[in-house]
């Protein structure tokens, strides 16, 4: 199975903000922000989510909005944050959102 990903110029601010507006998706993006490609299973484990089916919708929203690349690799999917594309399209947006998430987490 191959997934469709929007081209850089097709990434829309409303889609990015919607995708990052959900706490589970934001937490997944924070994990991917290290720059490394990660398999879905390792992200699920770090997030403490047991069922893959729980994340299927979230991966689709992140992928369709242009926030991540999701590529099949054997029986797993590999995830990569599209930081370069997001930074080129909306400079500073991802940094501001992730910094805000860290601030919110520290306040709780």
Can you give the residue ranges of every domain in the chain? 8-95
The predicted-structure confidence for 40-68, as pLDDT tens digits, reads as follows 989 999 999 887 787 899 999 999 999 99
Work out the average pLDDT over 89-98: 97
pLDDT band at 7 (very low <50, low <70, confident <90, very high): very high
Kind plus residue range of the DSSP H or E element containing 2 = none
**CATH of the domain spanning 8-95:** 1.10.10.10
| Dihedral over Cα of 80, 31, 93, 3: its sign | positive
Instruction: Say which residue the tokens 């909005």 belong to.
Output: 65
Give helix then strand counts, H and E, for the chain.
Answer: 6, 3
Enter the pTM of the model.
0.90
Q: What is the pLDDT of residue 105?
A: 65
Distance (Å, whole) CA 97 – CA 31: 14
- Assess whether pLDDT exceeds 80 at residue 70: yes
């Amino acid at each position: 199975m191959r997934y469709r990903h929007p081209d850089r110029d097709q990434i829309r601010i409303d889609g990015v903000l919607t995708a990052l507006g959900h706490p589970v998706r934001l937490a997944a993006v924070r994990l991917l922000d290290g720059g490394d490609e990660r398999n879905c299973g390792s992200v699920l484990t770090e997030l403490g989510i047991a069922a893959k089916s729980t994340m299927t919708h979230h991966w689709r929203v992140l992928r369709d909005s242009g926030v991540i690349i999701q590529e099949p690799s054997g029986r797993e999917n590999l995830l990569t944050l599209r930081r370069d594309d997001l930074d080129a399209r909306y400079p500073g947006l991802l940094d501001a959102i992730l910094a805000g998430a860290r601030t919110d987490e520290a306040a709780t």
